[in-house]
Amino acid sequence: ATNQLAIAIDGPAAAGKSTVAKHVAQRLSYIYIDTGAMYRALTYKAIINKVDLENENQVSNLLENTSIDLEQTNKGQLVYLDNNEITREIRTKEVTNNVSIVAKHPLIRREMVKRQQLLAEKRAVVMDGRDIGTHVIPDAEVKIFLIASVEERAQRRHKENLEKGFESDLDQLKREIETRDKLDSEREAAPLVKAKDAVEIDTTSLSIEDVVERILQVVATK
């Protein structure tokens, strides 16, 4: 077998990170780790517990008493919060529009990065998020930074919503994506930024298969 690598995939909302990461992991028989799901799970719990999301210490105390687990199944990734399955609950609009507040706190990031580093310890992982190549696995053998125009990204989410039978407003989606990108890029602690040694792929006019192939080409050079 070839070397067991760590593959870091970062980029803004709806650039295709999780979709592409899952495919790459499958092709290489690696584990896929969705770090956004961890921030979403904590946000979900904080909302339910009526914790003030801006209060770093309160959210941090909550996280100390919280277990978040990701399980890979043939039906996709399942997310567990304190041993209860909450895979669907973390994708609501309310969680999506509040997660960047929780994720901006340095104490939260420090603990999440620690947990994520344990998951990546043995390599053979594809991990996606915002700070994987810069902070979580700074020595990852492969770093990918996925981008796409905000119009294209809003369209992708819109299409997903309609396919699932959800209500969806394209202009509103676009504004929500822009707001989240801005919060994620402008925060002090580990902002969304391309690592110096990351390969940037603009996916605006690429298919999922195209992007997967490009990443596998980068992997093949390692």
Find the part of the chain contacting ligand CDP (CB under 6 A) among 14-22, 54-62, 65-73, 167-175. 14-22
Measured CA angle at 198 (ends 123, 211), to 5 deg? 85
148 belongs to an annotated ligand binding site: no
141 or 160: whose CB is closer to ligand CDP? 160
98-120 b/e with 16+ CB inside 10 Å = b?
A: bbbbbbbbeebbebbbeebeebb
Find the part of the chain contacting ligand CDP (CB under 6 A) among 51-59, 74-82, 202-210, 213-221. 202-210
Q: Containing H/E element for 68?
A: strand 68-73
Nearest to 33 by CA among 127, 135, 111, 122: 127
Shortest distance (Å) from residue 122 CB to ligand CDP: 19
Site for ligand CDP in 81-110 (CB under 6 A): 99-100, 103
2 or 42: whose CB is closer to ligand CDP? 42
Shortest distance (Å) from residue 132 CB to ligand CDP: 6
Which residue is it, tokens 């973390």?
90
Nearest to 9 by CA among 27, 37, 35: 35
Sequence-distant (≥ 6) Cβ neighbours of residue 2 within 8 angstroms: none
Fill in the per-residue mask, 127 to 166: x = in contact with ligand CDP (CB under 6 A), - = not in contact: --xxxx-----------------------x---x------
Question: Could you tell me how far CA 206 lies from the centroid of its own chain?
Answer: 20
220 belongs to an annotated ligand binding site: no
Site for ligand CDP in 16-35 (CB under 6 A): 16-20, 35
206 binds ligand CDP (CB under 6 A): yes
204 belongs to an annotated ligand binding site: no
17 belongs to an annotated ligand binding site: yes
The token pair at 55 is 């209060």
Q: How many CB atoms lie within 10 A of CB 159?
A: 12
Annotated binding residues for ATP, written as ranges, equal: 11-19
Annotated binding residues, written as ranges, equal: 11-19
Residues at the contact surface with ligand CDP, assessed by CB under 6 A: 11, 13-20, 35-36, 39-40, 99-100, 103, 129-132, 156, 160, 180, 184, 203, 206-208, 211
